[in-house]
Amino acid sequence: MRILAFFAHPDDETILIGGTLALLSRLGADVHYLCATRGEGGELGDPPVGLRDEIGRLREQELTCAVKALGGKSLEFLGYVDPLVGPNDELYAFATDLPEVVAKLAAVAHDLQIDALITHGSNGEYGHPAHRLVYQAAADWVRLLGPDAPLWYTVMAAYPDHPRPRSVNPDDPADFIIDVTPTLEQKTQAAFCHASQNALFVRRRSEEAGRRMTVPEVMLSEESLHRVWPPSDDLLMDPLAELLVRSGQLLSR
């Protein structure tokens, strides 16, 4: 099975669904990674890993490290520049030409002959415009292909008592809840690859806990997926689900 994991920034793949992607690779799937930007607008690290004009190159190296840790097959970038965070922490999309993003996604997916696509959710997790743009590009591409479209799933799908309610996609009910304990060490290693973002990973959780948390402590051992396409109540013939069932790590579907 050939899977394309398409996200907006380096680290999205690890934090949002890294354990599942590592598990799928372990189960024999070819998991390819596509990132819209090199995260040029992200944090520099604490302490900084480099200067602002170096961060895109450094985060590309970080993502290359993370993909290797997760057992990924390949990595490509769409080449968009990640905008800096604006006043009052305002976030921005990486492009205004949606058809161009769709065309670039289509070209990569065609070259790889993918069977399944995994992306950000419809709400952009915490509403990030760049995440929502990735979702919309996937939606437009799948709509263009119609019945020939590959399977399409989104991350951080909603279910009761989700451990990260701030980042869940409330409009995307979970079809699969996965125990990623067997690949949690890989996910943690991939998170450490993203050195420029490690302080960001633990900041909110440290504030909530009233103490400094570590990267391993904030890695989720449960992840969830919503199947967008094909829209069906019958998931029994879903090949991705069959892989997860075989692993014994599927908690619910």
Residue span of the structural domain in which 176 resides: 2-252
Average pLDDT across each block of 10 residues of the chain; the chain has 253 residues. List them in order.
98 98 97 98 95 97 98 98 94 97 98 98 97 98 96 97 95 95 98 97 94 97 96 75 84 69
The CATH number assigned to the domain holding 29 equals 3.40.50.10320
Amino acid (one-letter) located at 211: R
Give the integer Cα–Cα distance in Å for 136 and 121. Answer: 9
> What is the secondary structure of 61-87 as a DSSP string?
HHHHHHHHHTT-SEEEEEEEPPPPP-G
pLDDT at position 241 is: 86
Residue 132: predicted pLDDT: 98
Question: Which residues, in sequence order, are bridge partners of residue 35?
Answer: 7, 77
All residues at 6 or more sequence positions from 221 whose CB lies less than 8 Å from its CB, including other chains: 19, 179, 180, 181, 184
Q: Into how many domains does the chain fold?
A: 1
Res 236: pLDDT: 63
Choose among 243, 250, 13: nearest CA to 151. 243
CA 152 – CA 225 distance, rounded (Å): 10
Q: Quick one: pLDDT at residue 117? A: 98
pTM summary value: 0.96
Q: Residue 150 and residue 159: Cα distance in Å, rounded?
A: 25
Write down the pLDDT at residue 249: 82
Q: Taking each helix axis as running N to C, give the angle between helix 184-193 and helix 55-69, from 0 to 180 degrees, rounded to the nearest 10.
A: 170
pLDDT score, position 244: 86
